[in-house]
Structure 1
Amino acid sequence: MGPPSPLAIATSSVLRLVKEESSYHKELLQQEARIQKLEQQDKSVEEDNVEYMLNQEVDDTAYHATSPLPFPRGLTLEETRAVFPPLKQRIADALAKLEDQLEAGTESAEELTKAKDAVAAAKQCIRETAAV
């Protein structure tokens, strides 16, 4: 078996980036659920720990304004949200390379099918990321 074709490389690159984006979406949903759970906890029980955990999870200026803590909130949630714009750009760049490889059209039917599926997945991913 020879080395992978440029189309196969471009296809796997797009699929890897789409999978990475999906993973970050799942992480974002988990973090939001954790924050909601922390906010709904009984504040009288372990108040200091809940406050600390919220500081680590959420970035909310209004919430920070009412907090006695002198440092900003939102380490985890905002870091995850910040991943999406550059990742979207990387997906768009990889998609453009894949479409260029598709236009060359010198590959097998199986590779072309995989590449077209990857293009569809990447375009769907870009649309979903725009909503975040």
Structure 2
Amino acid sequence: MTTEVLAAAGRLVAAFGAHDTAAYFGSFAADATFVFHTHATPLRSLSDYEQIWYGWEREGFHVESCSSSDQHVQLFGDVAVFTHRVRTVIRTGEGPESLDERETIVFRREPDGRWLAVHEHLSPSPA
């Protein structure tokens, strides 16, 4: 199962890094929640996140690349906790920006066997 979770995480990161919004948002369950250090309040659903994302895009936001390292998976039955370090290059209306962050993604195995993300927590890496 660890291999399946790593594959699901890999697809999610690859879709994010390619700014493939359909594949990226398709990696999450509708009831997923999100905690981002760049956003003042938690997002309580995938729909809430999509609304924020599309607002960012209207302001010039675009993901240029994303890479994952220091990956770790913990399995708890039909739930898995995936942690990693993520380096992202984004473009905004102000130009390119490089981000170095730590991320936890909680996955849930669906009845059809797919692993979907149900929670994402992003924080800046220590200096």
TM-score normalized with structure 2 length: 0.26
Q: Which has the higher helix share?
A: 1
| Higher RCO (C-alpha under 8 Å, 6+ residues apart) | 1
Q: Give the greater-gyration-radius structure (CA).
A: 1
Q: Which has the higher strand share?
A: 2
